[in-house]
Chains A and B, each alone.
Chain A
Amino acid sequence: MSKIPAELQYTASHEWIKNEDGLSVIGLTDFAQSSLGDIVFIDLPQEGDTVTMGDSFADVESVKAVSGVFSPVSGTVAAVNSALIDNPALLNEDPYGAWLIKVSDVTKTGVLLDAAAYEAVCKSEEA
């Protein structure tokens, strides 16, 4: 069973999001990293780029799969976790520590799930 920390919020497309110092921090869930398998590459946006709610802002690649990462919010990219570019394995090792981007000036936020609702999503996909 994958880890789903209670203090975070989630999307049905397997991103997590939390607020930290007025910024929205976005990452990939444990379920997402374990379905993809060993992640070999991530293509991140640049600071200052805009992200749009529901649109893909990054591609994560494993050996045999590629998946978009969808932004739960609209806003401006304030920070990018560039450590992931050199070491994408961090996404597998510590999915809730290895954030992807921090977003400022959030104008729109999509439907977010709490841990219990997200767990139900994961269960239905496993079945």
Chain B
Amino acid sequence: MKLLFERSRPGRRECLIPACDVPAASFSPSALRASAPRLPEISEIDLGRHYTELASQTHGVNKGFYPLGSCTMKYNPRINEEMASLPGFTDIHPLQPAESAQGCLEVLFETERLLCEITGMDGMTFQPAAGAHGEYTGLLLIRRYHQSRNDAARTKIIVPDSAHGTNPASATMAGFTVVSVPSNAKGGVDIEALRNAVGPDTAGLMLTNPNTLGLFDENILEITRIVHEAGGLCYYDGANLNAVMGHARPGDMGFDCVHLNLHKTFSTPHGGGGPGSGPVGCKDFLEQFLPAPRVCKKEDGSFGFADPEHTMGRVRSFYGNFLVVVRALTYILTLGREGIPEASAMAVLNANYLMKKLSGSYDMAYDSMCMHEFVMTLEKLKGETGVSAMDVAKSLLDYGIHPPTMYFPLIVHEALMVEPTETESPETLDNAAEALLAILEKAKTDPAYLHGAPHRCPIGRPDEVRAARTPVLRYDFASAENK
């Protein structure tokens, strides 16, 4: 495919902006750039075709099954997009007087209320723009809490070795040191290891529940009690909330703060990597530390802004990815009291159904019922046939299916993590199972074919070593001119 710059021809342009209707402003020559940026010069028809071609080489949820574990690639309802495109939202300046933005403030206020009910929290901020940003914000709440008690010794955050990489990275950014605790056979927290890890230096624990093996930690109340008794706080990573929303709440499990991924659980799209939204909820004793400002409801029923008393400040500008919140609100209003628990129940049913279809043939990391996702281990297959998790994943591409998450969690060898979500039909699951079983047969007869997969995609496996050894990170105009 040609790059935008390779489609450019000098002098091509469309007339998008009128000539200026007042005299030009003059700048001193030293304030001006020496030459214009080499942006493409392109007609609208060629620009349209360019992106149509790019779209044809992009797999999204609307193109095919996307069982990417821990990413909750559920359907993104069209009505959400339509609501987020309403000019009454898109055309509102974030620094408009509050009285002229009452609808926006109500969106934030209402969504906070609904999500607090779903999570069992008391207050929430929408400032964090993504899950990792939410983790950072939640950890700053914990940091501020201990600071407010002059408890400077609490410098350590406990993170299980099965955790997402963002957990330890966020803890470091928030100024903590990370203590990794091993998992038990079910991927849950090893209680004895946790008891040994906590102490007067414990600031808190970060936990994903269900964990990254897709299993609910049956000791959850004991885990949060151990941390609390040691003086630490408990942070809930909401990456897997889609398994339990409407059935169990982090607040009832003993967690003090939580982040949600609206772009996972609450059906807002991923957009090729973002924008997401990672709101952080907390119990009332932590609300005083939330980022500023927060939306509040005044006595006259109108909405306004207020800064929490001991706010941590800001983690970004304005109020977060507002238009993503509009989508999530639309979704929650659609599903409501019955739909929310139904969605998670169906996510669990779909995962178990697909797991059972495969479990006679593929090895499961943990062989019993799962929650919303399950992890397969292809270690034995690799030993017997040389076919790796990567080979199986790449082979799925030829079936028009996005592969499961590969090589995660780190505690499982040759892992494939499968999360079908609730919005897939039984026949989609059956098709995926058939594809995976066919790949398994092929592994036994023709492993070389799988090593070379995919065979029917626009490109074969890219040379990642070359990309990293000799980085080419932008178009090279000079070498193009010499050609």
Contacts and interface: CB of A to CB of B under 8 A. Distances in A.
A63 B407 CA distance: 14
B1 interface: no
Q: How large is the interface on B (under 10, 10 to 19, 20 to 34, 35 or more residues)?
A: under 10
Interface string B441-483: 0000000000000000000000011001100000000000000
B403 to A, nearest CB: 15
A106 interface: no
B436 to A, nearest CB: 23
A43 interface: no
A43 to B, nearest CB: 13
A64 to B, nearest CB: 8
A40 interface: yes
Interface in A39-54: 40-41
Contacts of B464: 63
A64 B469 CA distance: 13
Contacts of A61: 468
Nearest to A61: B468
Interface residues of A, number: 8
A122 interface: no
Interface in B405-431: 407
A106 B469 CA distance: 33
B390 to A, nearest CB: 10
Contacts of A89: 469
A88 interface: yes
Interface in A15-64: 38, 40-41, 61, 63-64
A89 B468 CA distance: 11
A61 B467 CA distance: 13
Contacts of B469: 38, 40-41, 88-89
Interface in A47-88: 61, 63-64, 88
Interface string A82-119: 00000011000000000000000000000000000000
A56 to B, nearest CB: 16
Nearest to B464: A63
A47 B483 CA distance: 41
A110 to B, nearest CB: 24
Contacts of A40: 465, 468-469
Contacts of B407: 64
A41 B469 CA distance: 7
A88 B471 CA distance: 13
Nearest to B469: A40
Contacts of B465: 38, 40, 63
A58 to B, nearest CB: 17
A40 B464 CA distance: 9
A25 to B, nearest CB: 25
A54 to B, nearest CB: 18
Nearest to B468: A40
A40 B471 CA distance: 10
Nearest to A63: B464
A92 to B, nearest CB: 10
A88 B465 CA distance: 11
A75 to B, nearest CB: 28
B462 to A, nearest CB: 11
Contacts of A63: 464-465, 468
A63 B471 CA distance: 12
Nearest to A87: B469
Interface in B390-409: 407
B454 to A, nearest CB: 18
A65 to B, nearest CB: 11
Nearest to B470: A40
A41 B407 CA distance: 22
A61 B465 CA distance: 11
Contacts of A38: 465, 469
Nearest to A88: B469
A2 to B, nearest CB: 19
B190 to A, nearest CB: 23
A13 to B, nearest CB: 18
A41 B465 CA distance: 10
A61 B469 CA distance: 10
A88 B468 CA distance: 11
B412 to A, nearest CB: 16
B160 to A, nearest CB: 21
B388 to A, nearest CB: 12
A36 to B, nearest CB: 12
10 contacts: A38-B465, A38-B469, A40-B465, A40-B469, A41-B468, A41-B469, A61-B468, A63-B464, A63-B468, A88-B469
Interface of B: 407, 464-465, 468-469
Given A41-B469, A63-B464, A89-B469, 6 more contacts: A38-B465, A40-B469, A61-B468, A63-B465, A63-B468, A64-B407
3 A-B pairs with least C-beta separation: A40-B468, A38-B465, A63-B464
